[in-house]
Chains A and B, each alone.
Chain A
Amino acid sequence: MNERLKKLYQEVIVRHSREPYHYSKDADGEVVEAYNPLCGDQYKLFIEQEESLLKSLHFHGYGCSISKAASSVMVQSLEGLDIAQAKARVEAFMAVLNPEVELAGLSIPEEYLAFEAARNFPGRLKCASLSWETMAKYLEK
């Protein structure tokens, strides 16, 4: 296995794709769909909000290991945050995927950094960002 692959499929991603956090077919809250028609990846995000707080988050659906792990990391790391905090986290995750952003010096959650390797696989960036973009739209509302 080459180094590029090792970086992409490191422990964080494989673990989250195998045992995703709060992965359930039905949960409380508003249901938002994340869908990529090009590859068919499709997730339902269950967002239970209490005033400005993301009280609980769940997700379910079908997709590759990258999109599933990214969704799992998102649900885990945004749960319990308020909207402003969540927006900042979304921004941090998007920075990880953006090849033009220098990450050194930025404060970015450790688990997000696993997805930096997707920069080497332009065809897979969309997998990592799918649920996060959907969440970003939700938070803008």
Chain B
Amino acid sequence: MQSLTDIRKDFPLFEQHPELAYLDSAATSQKPKAVLEAIHHYYLNENANIHRGIYDLSMQATQAYESARKKVADFINAAESREIVFTKGSTDGINLVANSYLAPQLEAGDVVLISAMEHHANLVPWQQLCHAKGAHLEVIPLNERGEIVWRDFVERLSPKVKMLAFVHVSNSLGTINPAQEMIEEASKRGIPTLLDAAQSVAHYPLDVQALGCDFLVFSGHKVFGPTGIGILFGRAERLEEMKPYQSGGGMIRRVQYQETSFAPIPQRFEAGTPHVAGAIGLGAALDYVQSLDRVAVLKQLDALKDYATEVLNGIDGLQIIGQAKAKSGILSFVMELAHPHDIATILNEAKVAVRAGHHCTQPLLEGLGLPGTARASLSIYNQHSDIDQLKEGLQTVKQIFG
């Protein structure tokens, strides 16, 4: 079995920054060598535009791109590759569903249901759509630990709800939502569902058939892949009924000056030359994840999270925000006397990278009476010494602000 220390060696950035305690993987993950090499290899050996190329190189590039799609499908256990649409990232995927799936059928008085812990990416697109249609954005509240209370959830599943969109793992609280159970409740009532798996994809197994969701999105860069690429999974029958999102080249079947018929899914949703290198990099990232003993890695990550929680709880005047029973390695915290940005500046001097602010969950934090938090987020390459470094940095915060 690979220990977390071995895994760290797979990530070249740490050779360049051996002293860095990188605790910001919820924002973006570092990239293993295999991903960098795959992208490099593609541009060196296989670069050509995909589809419709008759020459070898183009066919090779097309094959590499489509094989990345197959890897994504396998990774999340989609029934068919055509259920995978390549996007720019989670935000792009959610906008696609809001515009192409929900917009044509949402009517005044309808409801879109989200949770109070959504990232702005899974809030603003629905909110704007609701504004445009005279529909209502309903928000499932949280308890004081940062969890969805089952009864609060179920009682909001009215016949007016035309979409349930929620996050699998909260990026600011670390809460792991009972996705499968929630989707099942919604599906029983015929409510379509979208799961935002941006924070869960790197560490938790995703099986769209077991989850039963209609849509799922994630971003490549949070699962050790490149930026600028992500995926939307949509059940084939849902995608089939959707109109194109953007139009142009690549998504057509036949174009005349006055009429166009569109390509089948998933090409219908991939107008323009796609991010071929990104898709290939993402495929390599998923291969990398699958080369690990994921159960064992998650176990070590959980142990590291427990250690970090203990360390943070041991610091006077520090409060961890988000105390869910089911929680991932995302630790948001505030300190009595120091503002999150001061904490982050001081930690930076100790070569500790954390994020400070509202983490794109402004309404959530405002609801908690907090304009921001500092957030340490863990990934598979983190080690105990990173947490010790964090602890030392936080001692300096206390020294300055007392």
Task: Assess whether A124 is in contact with B341, with CB atoms less than 8 Å apart.
Answer: yes
What's the nearest-Cβ distance from chain B to residue A112, in Å? 20
Is B401 part of the binding interface, using a Cβ–Cβ cutoff of 8 Å? yes
In the complex, per-residue mask of A30-64: 1 if CB is within 8 Å of any chain B CB, else 0: 00000000111110000000000000000000111
Task: Assess whether B341 is in contact with A39, with CB atoms less than 8 Å apart.
Answer: yes
Is B399 part of the binding interface, using a Cβ–Cβ cutoff of 8 Å? yes
Task: Assess whether A1 is in contact with B342, with CB atoms less than 8 Å apart.
Answer: no
Task: Assess whether B349 is in contact with A2, with CB atoms less than 8 Å apart.
Answer: yes
Is B357 part of the binding interface, using a Cβ–Cβ cutoff of 8 Å? yes
Which residue in chain A gives the minimum CB-CB distance to B372? Answer: A40
Which residue in chain B gives the minimum CB-CB distance to A42? Answer: B371
A-B pair count, CB < 8 Å, reads 48
Task: Assess whether A1 is in contact with B371, with CB atoms less than 8 Å apart.
Answer: no
Task: Assess whether B400 is in contact with A9, with CB atoms less than 8 Å apart.
Answer: yes
- Knowing A40-B358, A40-B362 are in contact, say whether A66-B399 is a contact too (CB < 8 A): no
Q: Could you tell me the distance between the alpha carbons of A124 and B340 in the complex, rounded to whole angstroms? A: 12
Is A12 part of the binding interface, using a Cβ–Cβ cutoff of 8 Å? no
Task: Assess whether A66 is in contact with B371, with CB atoms less than 8 Å apart.
Answer: no
Is B318 part of the binding interface, using a Cβ–Cβ cutoff of 8 Å? no
Which residue in chain A gives the minimum CB-CB distance to B339? Answer: A64
Task: Assess whether B400 is in contact with A5, with CB atoms less than 8 Å apart.
Answer: yes
Task: Assess whether A14 is in contact with B345, with CB atoms less than 8 Å apart.
Answer: no
Q: State which size class the interface on A falls in.
A: 20 to 34
Is A8 part of the binding interface, using a Cβ–Cβ cutoff of 8 Å? yes
Q: Could you tell me the distance between the alpha carbons of A42 and B365 in the complex, rounded to whole angstroms? A: 15
What's the nearest-Cβ distance from chain A to residue B303, in Å? 31
- Knowing A62-B371, A123-B345 are in contact, say whether A5-B396 is a contact too (CB < 8 A): yes
In the complex, per-residue mask of B317-359: 1 if CB is within 8 Å of any chain A CB, else 0: 0000000000000000000011111100110010000001110
Interface centre among B349, B358, B400 (most CB of A within 10 A): B400
Enumerate chain B residues within 8 angstroms of A2, measured Cβ to Cβ: 349
Q: Could you tell me the distance between the alpha carbons of A40 and B339 in the complex, rounded to whole angstroms? A: 11
Task: Assess whether A39 is in contact with B342, with CB atoms less than 8 Å apart.
Answer: no
Enumerate chain B residues within 8 angstroms of A14, measured Cβ to Cβ: 400-401
What's the nearest-Cβ distance from chain B to residue A68, in Å? 8
Enumerate chain B residues within 8 angstroms of A4, measured Cβ to Cβ: 349
What's the nearest-Cβ distance from chain B to residue A61, in Å? 9
Enumerate chain A residues within 8 angstroms of B401, measured Cβ to Cβ: 14, 65
- Knowing A1-B396, A42-B371, A62-B371 are in contact, say whether A127-B349 is a contact too (CB < 8 A): no
Enumerate chain A residues within 8 angstroms of B362, measured Cβ to Cβ: 40
Task: Assess whether B396 is in contact with A40, with CB atoms less than 8 Å apart.
Answer: no
Task: Assess whether A63 is in contact with B339, with CB atoms less than 8 Å apart.
Answer: yes
Enumerate chain B residues within 8 angstroms of A5, measured Cβ to Cβ: 345-346, 349, 396, 400
Which residue in chain B gives the minimum CB-CB distance to A38? Answer: B357
Q: Could you tell me the distance between the alpha carbons of A63 and B372 in the complex, rounded to whole angstroms? A: 9
Q: Could you tell me the distance between the alpha carbons of A41 and B400 in the complex, rounded to whole angstroms? A: 21
Task: Assess whether A39 is in contact with B396, with CB atoms less than 8 Å apart.
Answer: no
What's the nearest-Cβ distance from chain A to residue B341, in Å? 4
- Knowing A5-B349, A39-B372, A62-B371 are in contact, say whether A127-B341 is a contact too (CB < 8 A): yes
Residue in B341, B358, B399, B400 whose beta carbon sits within 8 Å of that of A64 in the complex: B341
Task: Assess whether B342 is in contact with A64, with CB atoms less than 8 Å apart.
Answer: yes
Interface centre among A8, A9, A18, A123 (most CB of B within 10 A): A9
In the complex, per-residue mask of B369-402: 1 if CB is within 8 Å of any chain A CB, else 0: 0011000000000000000000000001001110
Enumerate chain A residues within 8 angstroms of B338, measured Cβ to Cβ: 65
What's the nearest-Cβ distance from chain A to residue B317, in Å? 14
Task: Assess whether A1 is in contact with B357, with CB atoms less than 8 Å apart.
Answer: no
What's the nearest-Cβ distance from chain A to residue B25, in Å? 20
What's the nearest-Cβ distance from chain A to residue B349, in Å? 5
What's the nearest-Cβ distance from chain A to residue B370, in Å? 10
Q: List 8 A-B contacts (CB under 8 A).
A: A1-B396, A1-B400, A8-B345, A9-B346, A18-B337, A40-B371, A62-B371, A127-B341
**A-B contacts besides A5-B400, A39-B341, 17 pairs, CB < 8 Å:** A1-B400, A2-B349, A4-B349, A5-B346, A5-B349, A5-B396, A8-B345, A9-B342, A9-B400, A14-B401, A38-B357, A40-B371, A41-B341, A42-B371, A62-B371, A64-B339, A66-B341
Q: Which 6 A-B pairs have the closest CB atoms?
A: A64-B339, A64-B341, A9-B400, A40-B371, A62-B371, A65-B342
